[in-house]
Amino acid sequence: LELAAPIPALLSDGEACAHGEDLGLEGSLAGVRDAYYLGGGTGLAEAFKLHGQVVDMDALRPWMRKAWQLEDKHGNSFEDLASARGLNERYAMRRGVEPTPGAEVSAPRERGRAATPSR
């Protein structure tokens, strides 16, 4: 396979989301000059809008750390505390049950429940 041109790099989740918020008719970044975008889900998506331009967080290294790299005074990262895995682990600890393998994809309310036999 011979390419006519190099394949451009994909945008980060944060940069793509920020572009959507910037270009959308009712986007939260439309018409804004400077802003910080942070979206949550299975991970963190973040970007800046500076001087009217969306900027990926990687362009701001090394002086700006990403939110998932920040730690509290106990050394827990935001990822440890806010990810699905982290939330499920903390929920299991408070309930006094063992974390379920693969729990990062299960809802915390399902943790510790006995399996219901199918009929």
In terms of pLDDT, which residue wins out, 102 or 103? 102
**Residue 118 pLDDT > 70:** no
Looking at residue 92, its amino acid is A
Both tokens of 118, joined, read: 């199918």
Cross-strand pairs, 53: 50
Please tell me which residue, 70 or 35, carries the higher pLDDT value: 35
Instruction: State pTM to two decimals.
Output: 0.62
Higher pLDDT pick, 117 / 15: 15
Strands (E) across the chain are located at: 35-40, 44-50, 53-56
Is residue 21 a contact partner of residue 37, using CB atoms and an 8 Å limit?
yes
What's the pLDDT at 47? 94
Alpha-carbon gap, residue 13 to 48, rounded angstroms: 12
| Contact residues for 52 (Cβ-Cβ < 8 A; gap 6+) | 33
Contacts of 115 (CB under 8 A, 6+ apart): none
Name the pLDDT band for 117 (thresholds 50, 70, 90).
Answer: very low
Q: What is the pLDDT of residue 103?
A: 52
